[in-house]
């Protein structure tokens, strides 16, 4: 029976077993060699400017196609009605990817350009810098995705949003610090890519001690603001959305930065204070531990006023409004003056806004009740004439 000559695979007429391992490695590189030869062939068929234009256009087109594929996949999985991670990624990374992916593809295809070293080196350096900048922007936007996730977990629309305000205040400072670090590292990488700047940096290391002292004195105010911001972020004497009484003004914390705090006053003015103010000076924080508050209404009436009847009216008013949280609702005589007595209506509410509205509601309706039912019990000035005064008056009339 004849021997099987096709026991081993054959390549170009020779059994594959007889091919040297070096030749096998070359055979594995055939697709790469074919692609290189094909690119070389096309580069020789076109003018250098036309070939360079084709390379740049191909890189940008491939980059935009990859970006569209990524965003299309994310669009398919995102939830349009509520928060979703994919929706957050599309919102924050859509624009950065428009620059990063095409620039990255252009950076990969730069060696294919038909340019002399005199022009290729600066162009390659510029593309590298643009890739670094776009990547740093991508990192900043990636942190915003994490920030969206944290904000979704802690809802500020809840009645008792203390935990959410704590987390949001910390996230504000962490985001600003992360952005500063990314920007500083990006600028450092770009500068260190230049040999001249790298030599200058090596020389500056010898004088870093004296330079650090000089910089410390020059940036003392900025450093104090930065440290105060870190202290507020973690000790939290104030938080985002806190209700404060500061400099005699009632307002809500609207914005916290590393250097200043913006307080939205009730009449839509804005009070801007340095962040060190909240470390060095006293102020009132109405929502430090909870958003619940007590409100008061003071009335001044005559000594003959029937307090029990007004107490019943107060209880009725509180039960008919949703502004009252049903914790506290009392009417007390808190003081007696020369002509009047002082009544204090004490009531509780879920937050400062409800407390203010509840106080106005109770004050208005109690005054209506007194005016309609007990007008004689409003503050009065009395003058009593005795018999001697009457006799003198009658004598004057006779005369």
Separation CA 124–CA 130 (nearest Å): 10
Same domain, 50 and 184: yes
* Separation of alpha carbons 158 and 360, rounded Å: 24
Note the pLDDT of residue 30.
44
pLDDT given for residue 8 in this prediction: 44
Domains in the chain, number: 3
Please give the radius of gyration of the chain, using alpha carbons only, rounded to the nearest integer: 40
Burial of 314 from C-beta contacts in 10 A (0-12 / 13-18 / 19+): buried
Residue 289's pLDDT is 82
| CATH (domain of 255) | 2.30.30.60
Structure tokens of 66?
């990859």
Query: Residue 5 carries which DSSP code?
Result: T
The predicted pLDDT at position 224 comes to: 75
The one-character DSSP state at 255 is E
Is 133 contained in some domain? yes
SS3 347: strand
Asked, for residue 152, whether it belongs to a domain, the answer is yes
What local confidence, expressed as pLDDT, does residue 27 receive? 44
Domain boundary among 245, 261, 285: 285
Q: Is the dihedral of CA 99, 105, 110, 113 positive or negative?
A: negative
Low-confidence ranges of the chain (pLDDT < 70): 1-52, 55, 73-84, 112-118, 155-161, 197-222, 381-399
Residue 76 lies in a domain: yes
Q: Are residues 242 and 327 in the same domain?
A: no
- CA 12 to each of CA 18, 29, 115, 116: distance values in angstroms, whole numbers, following the listed order: 12, 16, 39, 41
Closest by CA position to 227, among listed 184, 185, 279: 279
Query: Is 385 domain-assigned?
Result: no
The model's pLDDT over 338-395, given as tens digits with 9 standing for 90+, comes to 888 999 999 999 888 889 999 999 999 999 999 889 888 877 766 666 555 555 555 5
Residue 274 and residue 302 in one domain: no
275 and 171 in a common domain: no
**pLDDT (0 to 100) of residue 14:** 44
pLDDT of residue 20: 46
Q: Is residue 136 located within the same domain as residue 45?
A: yes
Q: Residue 1: inside a domain, yes or no?
A: no
Q: Tell me, yes or no, whether 9 lies in a domain.
A: no
Residue 276: which domain range?
237-285
CA gap 106, 93 in Å, rounded: 19
């Amino acid at each position: 029976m004849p021997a099987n000559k096709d026991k081993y695979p054959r390549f170009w007429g020779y059994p594959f077993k007889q091919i040297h391992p070096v030749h096998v490695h070359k055979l594995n590189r055939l697709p790469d060699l074919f692609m290189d030869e094909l690119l070389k062939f096309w580069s020789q068929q076109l003018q250098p400017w036309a070939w360079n234009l084709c390379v740049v256009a191909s890189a940008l087109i491939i980059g935009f196609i990859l970006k569209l594929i990524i965003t299309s996949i994310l669009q398919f999985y995102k939830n349009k009605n509520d928060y979703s991670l994919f929706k957050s990624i599309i919102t924050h990374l859509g624009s950065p990817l428009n620059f990063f992916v095409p620039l990255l593809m252009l950076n990969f295809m730069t060696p294919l350009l038909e340019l002399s070293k005199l022009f290729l080196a600066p162009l390659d350096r510029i593309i590298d810098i643009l890739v670094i900048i776009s990547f740093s922007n991508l990192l900043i936007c990636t942190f915003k995705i994490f920030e969206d996730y944290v904000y979704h977990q802690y809802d500020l629309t809840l009645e008792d949003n203390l935990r959410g305000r704590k987390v949001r205040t910390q996230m504000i400072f962490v985001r600003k610090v992360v952005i500063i670090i990314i920007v500083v590292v990006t600028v450092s990488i770009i500068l260190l890519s230049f040999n001249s700047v790298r030599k200058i940096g090596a020389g500056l290391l010898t004088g870093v001690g004296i330079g650090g002292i000089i910089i410390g004195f020059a940036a003392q105010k900025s450093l104090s603001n930065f440290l105060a911001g870190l202290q507020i972020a973690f000790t939290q004497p104030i938080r985002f959305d806190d209700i404060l009484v500061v400099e005699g003004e009632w307002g809500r914390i609207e914005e916290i930065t590393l250097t200043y705090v913006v307080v939205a006053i009730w009449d839509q003015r804005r009070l801007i204070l340095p962040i060190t103010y909240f470390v060095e000076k006293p102020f009132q924080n109405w929502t430090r531990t909870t958003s619940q508050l007590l409100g008061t209404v003071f009335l001044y009436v005559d000594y003959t006023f029937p307090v029990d009847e007004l107490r019943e009216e107060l209880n009725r008013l509180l039960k008919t409004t949703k502004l009252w949280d049903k914790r506290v609702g009392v009417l007390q005589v808190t003081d007696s003056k020369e002509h009047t007595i002082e009544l204090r209506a004490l009531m509780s509410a879920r937050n400062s806004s409800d407390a203010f509205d509840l106080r106005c509601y109770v004050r208005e309706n109690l005054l209506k009740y007194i005016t309609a039912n007990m007008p004689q019990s409003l503050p009065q000035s009395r003058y009593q004439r005795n018999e001697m005064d009457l006799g003198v008056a009658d004598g004057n009339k006779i005369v």
